[in-house]
Amino acid sequence: MSEQIALSVAQELSMYELSLPNDNEEQAKMDMQVKAFGRHLCNQADEQLNDADFTLKSCEIEGFDVQVSIQGTPSMSFLPRPIRVSRAGPAECVPRNR
């Protein structure tokens, strides 16, 4: 579940960033817009996930990368609360022939 949320947020964020004009003078402004949109996506994920079984513990945006933490709520209060952390974003390009 955490992988799906991380991938969904990263995909939406990437699509939004690609839709912005590529102008170096406006880069700082665009970075702020992307971060604001990322916070919006994290809030949406929190609303969708906020139920009796799971909660969104954290959602962090770092450039194109997204990291989410989901915490489970066990039905018996004495059991530990499991946490799953997932990260999504574009794959790093690594040259194969050196």
pLDDT per residue, tens digit, the chain (98 aa), is 667 777 777 778 777 776 766 666 666 777 777 788 888 888 888 888 777 688 888 888 887 788 888 888 887 888 888 888 888 877 665 566 55
Angle at 75 between CA 71 and CA 79, to 5 degrees: 70
Q: Token digits for 68?
A: 């989410």
Considering its fold, how many domains does the chain have in total? 1
Q: Within 13 Å, how many C-alpha atoms sit on residue 80's CB side?
A: 3
The closest of 30, 29, 94, 88 to 62, measured between CA atoms, is 88
Supply the pTM of this predicted model. 0.63
Angle at 26 between CA 32 and CA 94, to 5 degrees: 75
Full residue range of the structural domain in which residue 72 is found? 2-88
Is 46 part of any domain?
Answer: yes
The closest of 20, 32, 92, 91 to 61, measured between CA atoms, is 32
Is 48 part of any domain?
Answer: yes
Is 31 part of any domain?
Answer: yes
